[in-house]
Structures are given as C-alpha cells and as structure tokens.
A and B are shown apart, each in its own frame.
Chain A
C-alpha cells in the first residue's frame, strides 16, 4: 500500500478535529457511554440504528423487511467450515467500539500482530491505527481523502460512505440497493440487510473511465464499520472502475462475526475490477480468537459486453466463507474470478465463485489457488451455471491446490449445470505438495528455506497476482510470506 503524502501533523490534527466535529453533528461518533445500543437484535434496535443514521424511510422499511425475513431462516450448514453456533443476541449491532476493548497504546496490543507490522515495514503511526489504538489523529490523512474526492466529483464520480450516499444520493441507492443481492438472498446477507452500519458507495457515470484506483484505504470512516459492511458499486454504460478493498496490513478487530455484502452493477459496455486483500486476524496457532468472515459478493453484468472481474487474496480470518459471483446477463458479457486463499494453523476457508451465464456468448474464467499449511483447511466451491438462453457460453476453470504440510487439507467442489448444448465448459484441477526436492534445489542456490518457500508459493500464485494492481501485488507477496512463516512441515 502506498503511503499518502501527509501534511504537517498539527494541520492534520486540526483538520481531523473539524472533521470529527462534523461527524458529531451527524451523530456518528458520539460519546460512547450514551451511544451504545444494547446488545441483541430486535425491531427496536433496527429502528434505532436507522434513526441515528438519519436514514430515509425506504431504508428503514427495507431493513425491517430483511429482519422479518431473517427470523424465518436458519443458519446454513452446507459449507465445509466448522464453528461454534453464534449467539446473535450477544452482538452489539450499532457502531461504538466496545468500551474498554480499545487498546490505549501499542503495549496493550497482541505482540504477534505488532511483529507482523514490523515485518511488513509499516510506519509506527499507521501501526497504531491498524491496531485500533485510540489515537487522536490517525494516518489516513483527511487532506488526501478530500483532494481525491474533489477530483472525482469534478468528473461526476461519486465515491463516499454508504451513509453519505443515503443522505446525498438516496435515489441512486434506492434504485440499485438489493438489485444484485436481494435481502432474501441468504442468511448472512439478510442479516446484513437488516443491520448494516456503513460501507462504500461508488457511482461512475456514463462513458467515464475512473482515472485512479478507488480504495477504502482513503476513506477515513472505514474504521469500525467493518462488522456489517455494505458496498454498492455502479458503473454506468461504458464506464470503467477499479476498486481496491482493504489494505494489506492485518487489522486488529474485536468483532468476531463479519457479514458483509458487496453489490456490483455493470451496465452496457461497463467494466468493474474489484480487488481484495483480506487479512483480518486469523486467530492464534491453536485457533483461538479470529474473525468469522461470511461475505456475500456478487456482480451483475446487466448490459451487453459488460465485464466484471474479482481478484482476491485471502490470508486472514479464522473462518472464511465467500463466493464472489457474476451474473452474466448481457450478451457478450464476461466474468472473471482470480483467487488466492491461504489457510495456516487452524484457519478454515470455503471460498469460490458462481458464474451464472444468461446472455449469449457470455464468457467466464475462474482461476483459484488454494494454499494450505499447518492444520489449515481450504475448500474451493464453484458453480458454473449455463441457462438455456446462454448460447455459446464459455467457461474455463482452473483450480490448483498447494499443500505445505501433512496435516492440512484441500478440497475442490466444482458444480457444473449446463442447460444449453452449445456451451463449452472446461475444468482443470491439480493438487501438489511443496516438494523437498524443490526446496533443496532452491536452497542449494543460496536461498534460505523461507525464501525458497516464498518463491515457490509466489510462482504458484503468479496467475492471480498479475491481476492485482502493481503495488497491491507486491504487498500481497509480502503478506503471504508473513502468513507462511514457519509453515513448512
């Protein structure tokens, strides 16, 4: 991740304070004592959330419908991950870092996490911010964020928090929210629809090619909105946008459950590229702690020749349950999914994609690279569905697994449903164990064992890394190296 240029700390503090003052006005960051909504979920809690956020009525209605629907659902049991039942009544659904949970300084932060920051070469201030230390001014320079925003605004591009979008552009939100992932979609998406707190909103107008990578990194209000995040990205006809989610340093995060929803809408001739590097706290070596990451991500190629590409590098979380998908509705539209998922220690990942071919001549490409180390368990689960209308649909799927130890596991569950005889669906899968011979070969050339492992893993992931924006790719490599420390055996 690149360091934005920072202005003088005092100037920044002043700017930040005024920004925070703004947020007080909006009821965002209010006195913790008063603002904590009691734990548990009920209609009253949802009304309260919506009211605190000054939301338009349609939003509250939608949340309540979702909530009522959620009450009729039971948690899914079909994936290969295992976790103790979640007590949804024990969760705080509104903002407010739990009092006392926030460390006062770095000495209160898990030393393991700090060691990782050091290895990644993250500056001290930034480390504090990532670790959730209650610092006055954090690194994410407001001035950078605003210059950025001004430039985008002049092009007609909207890039703001979801809450802001609801206030400033309610019609756009209303038109597209839930149009890709309806609130009835699945257990966690339904829960998210009822209680989501914030997230990102992007709209790129017709014919506009967004001149920079949009990243949550630049969005100051990203903190503590993580638990039930909602992101909506719309590329209007002929528009192009590349969006980067998260930053590449591990986030300390006291929320156990994450249930985010991301919706992408690509109209005619539009292109959306969505890249994620996810590295939340995976839990310790014995599997204690760590995030449960249950995410619904879906893109809709709504117009002809629309193009949506998902690239993800997943190294964090105790449990990951995630299937970024594409609905290929427009003729000649294309969907891509490039994924690296790494599980070490006791981590579990069940991830993959769905490609739903509806339009004619639709194409999809799936490249999934699973790396399992320690006692980690890694599953690829993918669905390629070709509907009767999708004449000449083409899919190419490649699923490779790399095993780093004798205790880890890799599974592949490809589901293919083809209802049109003119479709071509190709699937290739390989599983390999990192070889002693390969390691010896590289070490005999002077590479340390660690460097040898990293080189082999990077080679294994190359097809995915080359899809990432350059800086992100370099960071992702570093991150894999850190996540894999001591993984051989």
Chain B
C-alpha cells in the first residue's frame, strides 16, 4: 500500500530525514518510535502533503500512485488521514461543519453522492457513540478551548468519520488519560480491516497493548535504525534508545 524509498527531507537548509525506507501493506499496523526531534512528525507531515518540507531525494508510492505529486486534499481523498500531534484551532467553525465539508469533499472525490444533513448526522452520531464522546462536541468550534486530550479525541472522531485507508496517528496517545486511551484504541481497532493500514507514532509501549503492531520501527537522526516485531517496543521500554543511537549520545554530551 505504501512504499517509502530512500526518502530525504530538508526543512530550510537543514536535512531532517536522511534516507527512510518503509513498506506498509494493507491490513498492517506499524508503530514508529524514536527520540524527540528524530523526525517522526516530519515524516508524518510529509506523507500528508505539508508544504515547505523539501523532498531532496527518494520516492513515496501509495496505492500505485506517486504520492508526492498529490496535493494534501488529493491525498485525503485518496484515503490518507493524519491525526496531528498538535491539532489546529479554527475559531468560529463548528466541528460539525468541518466534518461535513470534509466528508462530502472526500465522497465527491470518490464519486459518491454527498450526504444530506440527516444522513450525515446519523453517521456522525454513531461515531460519537463509538468514541464515547458527547454530542455537544459537534457544535463547539474546531478545537477551540479543547483540552489536550479532547483535541486528540477530536482527531480520532474525524478519522472515524472519514474512514481512511491509511491512518497516520502522530502521538495521539500523548496526554490521554487511561480511559481515553482505551476509547482511542477502540476507535483505531474498529477501523482495522484487511484493506486498511495504520501507522502509529508513539513514545509509549502502553498504546501498543491495545493496538498490537505488526512492525515496530525506531527512527533516530532521520533514519530507521531498527525494525522488529511488537517485542521491540517492550525492549525499548526497558532500555531506552541509547543502545540504538550511541552516536547522538556522544554528540549530545558537552
């Protein structure tokens, strides 16, 4: 489904990703872990089409297409969804308004008819129930005045409504209380399907107790320095990243 080859990305003059290779197949769950500043969010944003991040080498193919040639909205319509590490606030725009515009753009693109107000509300309400979220969320302005955890849940709500083929969750588990973590996990698990895939960026093995990954990758200094199965996450929990990235630690010392 997703093939990343030798991906190099710079922000300004600064190289951030230095040759990423990653294959994600339909039906798989991949976890990406790694120290702060290693480039995890950069990778996630590049996949979603963030402008201003220069791809200096390499390629990304998604469902037989050149992903990097697509605009962000085209990627969304092709089934890519990024749950942001830091969701944005859109003052004055009700959540329900964004959800509806988003769903209808995606449906149009897929050649499906737009949902009318009633059908749309039914869809959204079933997703709210799934995520144990209150209906009042729909009528609040997008992320405005939301607590950290509410913002993360709101991302999952959007994901649940848009039903993406490839969901990328950038630290959606950070800042969630334990109950919220479980609901988010059930939201992701509800989406699991042989036709879909999930990439989880996380710092904590905890999430992986609820969403079991097929592969775990460690990103450090803009490269994947180690890949393994779910047990790698446990090992990291135990040992930290130092043993994988001796160089940075040397450099980081004064």
Contacts and interface: CB of A to CB of B under 8 A. Distances in A.
Interface in B146-203: 158, 162
B35 to A, nearest CB: 24
A217 interface: no
Nearest to A462: B92
Interface string A435-477: 1111011111111110100011011111100000000000000
Interface string B45-66: 0001111100000000000000
Interface string A420-437: 000000000000000111
A181 to B, nearest CB: 34
A444 B87 CA distance: 12
B76 A446 contact: yes
Nearest to B84: A441
Interface stretch (B93-101, B224-232, B238-246): B93-101
A447 B93 contact: no
A486 to B, nearest CB: 16
Kindly list the 3 A-B residue pairs having the minimum CB-CB distance in the complex, ordered from nearest: A459-B92, A459-B93, A446-B76
B91 interface: yes
A435 B88 contact: yes
Given A437-B88, A443-B71, A463-B92, A455 B101 contact: yes
B114 to A, nearest CB: 12
A462 B81 CA distance: 28
B218 interface: no
Given A459-B141, A461-B92, A446 B77 contact: yes
Interface residues of A, number: 23
A327 to B, nearest CB: 31
A360 to B, nearest CB: 35
Contacts of B142: 459
B82 interface: yes
Interface in A84-129: none
Contacts of A447: 73, 101-102, 105
Contact of A445 (B89, B91, B98, B141): B98
A446 B99 CA distance: 10
Contact of A448 (B48, B73, B98, B103): B73
Interface in A352-396: none
Contact of A456 (B71, B73, B93, B103): B93
8 contacts: A441-B84, A443-B71, A443-B73, A444-B72, A445-B158, A446-B77, A455-B101, A462-B93
B211 interface: no
Contact of A458 (B51, B76, B92): B92
A443 to B, nearest CB: 4
A435 B89 CA distance: 10
Given A438-B88, A441-B84, A455-B90, A446 B51 contact: no
Nearest to B71: A443
Contacts of A461: 92
A371 B83 CA distance: 30
B75 interface: yes
Given A455-B101, A461-B92, A445 B51 contact: no
A444, A451, A456, most chain B CB atoms within 10 A: A444
A98 B145 CA distance: 56
B106 interface: yes
Interface centre among B84, B93, B103, by most A CB within 10 Å? Answer: B93
Given A443-B71, A458-B92, 13 more contacts: A437-B88, A442-B102, A443-B72, A443-B76, A445-B162, A446-B73, A446-B103, A447-B105, A448-B105, A451-B105, A459-B141, A460-B91, A462-B92
A444 B98 CA distance: 12
Contacts of A463: 92
Contacts of A445: 76, 98, 101-102, 105, 158, 162
B98 A446 contact: no
Contacts of B102: 442, 445-447
A488 B88 CA distance: 19
B123 interface: no
Nearest to A440: B50
B220 to A, nearest CB: 26
B51 A444 contact: no
B109 interface: yes
Nearest to B91: A459
B97 A449 contact: no
Contacts of A443: 49, 71-73, 76
A461 B90 CA distance: 12
A442 B89 CA distance: 10
